[in-house]
Structures are given as structure tokens and as C-alpha cells.
Amino acid sequence: MTTTQHPLGSPFSATSTADDVLAGLDLSGVTAVVTGGYSGLGLETTRGLAAAGARVIVPARRPGTARAAVGDLPGCEVVPMDLADLDSVRAAAARIRDSVAQLDLLMAVAGVMATPERRVGPGWESQLATNHFGHFALTCELYPLLAAADGARVVVNSSSGHSLTDIRRPDPHFRTGYDKWLAYGQSKTANALFAVHLDVLGRGDGVRAFALHPGKIITGLQREMTLREQIDRGWVDEHGHVIGADFKTPSQGAATGLWAATSPLLHGRGGLYLEDCDIARIAAPTEPMDNGGVRAYAIAPQAAADLWTLTATATTSDLHTPSTPAAPSSPADAR
């Protein structure tokens, strides 16, 4: 089937909820991994999959908090994992490989946004490391399980924030002039490009990949922002209450990811950027971010291949060959 980046006429929309998308589906026998699956959109994703009968594994930086959040949900289990620590990612992946024979869904929902400048690992910029490098390494480590499912889907949460910047190839780690929003935007472009090339590499094994913009939702993702910042952006009022008709509920925000994971309309398709429970259109370079759509640079095949090479080198990860924890890379390896 030809894969094209334009809407296909989904029966769902921006106002559809997780329950709407999953209505009538039986996911018994399906195994899913949901990063960040214990708060915000991730928790809504976990709830929806579990309610439909899936077994859901939730890797979590705060396992105690995660167990409390998902404790009453059937078929859910928590594995400790910190996306910013590749040894932790590999240890979590090893535990998952020991417990399941195949993986039908990998939902990369966890993320950070607009954080102060931080360095992790060998000096990596923390938003790129957490949002992209960590999910890249996890996917590579779990790839044999995805291939074994013969029809797995990988769903990566990007954002309209990708429109802030392409990959900053001369300086992806902001060695000079850190800007928290450009760093966030770059990580979200990386998420989109990751799905593009993963789909190229995985489709022969039945592994298809999608990236998506879940919509504007107030969740814990804003925890690094002050109340004043959120007020000045028109997101909340002086009491922290959400304002504006263009914000979604968490359930509506989770709907596009769940649609990507389960919709028969996406059978035989992949490498696409989605929004509002449909394939997104390609946006013009000068369009405002809030107009929706995906920038052409975030789905460009060669850019996706180039980023894959950069990331595989930096993380010493790649498909097909689950690794043992490697010695830390030098900062020069990540440039």
C-alpha cells in the first residue's frame, strides 16, 4: 500500500476520546509497553489499553508512584527505567525481554519539555537525550520482540513544537546559546524523524512506526514552567485553570496515539505523522504552529536516515542486536 502524508478521512476527530477510539476493540493477547504510562497522556493510554484487555508494561523513573497510579488496572506491571540513563534503559529492556515472547505495541509517550539547561550521560542536552536518545535505545533493545509479533506498531509522541526547529546539526547539544524551547522543538523533530526511518528499517519484519501530535493538553509535562510563563502564553488563568477552547482533555490527547496503535485504516501504512486521529497534512514553512500539520523537514527520509546514524553512533545502539551495557561514550561522540 502506498504511504502518503495527507488525511485519509478517519471517522474520529480532535474531540474524540480514548474510549471513542477503543470502543468495541478486544485487545486480549496484545502486549504493550507504554513509557510514561503512569501520568498524564501516558496514564490515559495505559487505562485504555488495559480496559480493552491488553497486558501493559510501564517503564517508570518513579516506580513507586507508577505502581500507585496503575495498581488497580488489570494486566499492568511496572519496570524501573530512567530514559536519560542508557544503562537503566538497557536493564529495563532486558527485564522485559525476559518476561515476554513478543511485543505488539511500543508507545513512546514519556517526555520532558522546556527544561532548564541540564547535561546527562557524556554531556548530552537533556531534552534530546530523554525524549529521543532514550526511546531510540529502548526500541533497539526491544526490536526482536517487535519483530516476533509480525505486525507490531511503534507510536512516538512528537508535538507541534517540532515546528520550532529542524535538527541543529552543527550543535545538537547546545554547547553554546542554550534555548529551552528550541531544545524541546529539536527533540520533537527527532521523534518524528525517528519514526520515519524506523518504519523503513522495520517494515520487512512487520514493524510499522508512527509519530504524532497529541494536541494541546495541560499535564505534568508543564512541570518545569512557572505559573507566570503559562499565564503569559494564554494557557491558564491566575489560578492555574486551563483556558482556551483549543485545549484537549487528557483522554482526547491520548486518542490519537491509541488510534495509531489500533486503527485498521493504518494497516500497511507507516512512517507517517498523525494528529487529531488522522494523518496530518504537510504544513507550509511559514504557517503558525497552532495551524497544525507537519513540517516537511520532520518527515524527510534522508534527514531521518542521517539522524538515525548520528543517534546509533552516540548511543551505541541499533536494531537486531540487543546490547550489553557499554562504556560511556566521550562527549565528542555525541556531537
Task: Give 5-49 pLDDT, tens digit per residue.
Answer: 999 999 999 999 999 999 999 999 999 999 999 999 999 999 999
pTM comes to 0.90
Catalytic residue (choose from 38, 184, 273, 297):
184
Backbone angles phi, psi at 156, to 5 degrees: -115, 125
Give the 3-state secondary structure of residue 34: strand
Return the percentage of the chain with pLDDT > 90, whole number.
83
Q: How many residues does the structure list for the chain?
A: 335
Tell me whether residue 297 is one of the annotated catalytic residues: no
Burial of 292 (0-12, 13-18, 19+ CB in 10 A): middle
pLDDT of 217 reads: 82
pLDDT of 329 reads: 36
| Euclidean distance between the first and the last CA atom of the chain, given in angstroms as a whole number | 38
From residue 149, how far is each of 15, 103, 108, 159, 169 by CA, in Å?
31, 6, 18, 28, 35
Backbone angles phi, psi at 5, to 5 degrees: -95, 70
Q: Is the pLDDT higher at 58 or at 223?
A: 58
Task: Give 106-148 pLDDT, tens digit per residue.
Answer: 999 999 999 999 999 999 999 999 999 999 999 999 999 999 9
pLDDT of 327 reads: 35
User: Which residue intervals of the chain are DSSP H helices?
Assistant: 18-22, 40-51, 63-70, 86-99, 126-128, 134-149, 180-202, 227-232, 250-262, 301-315
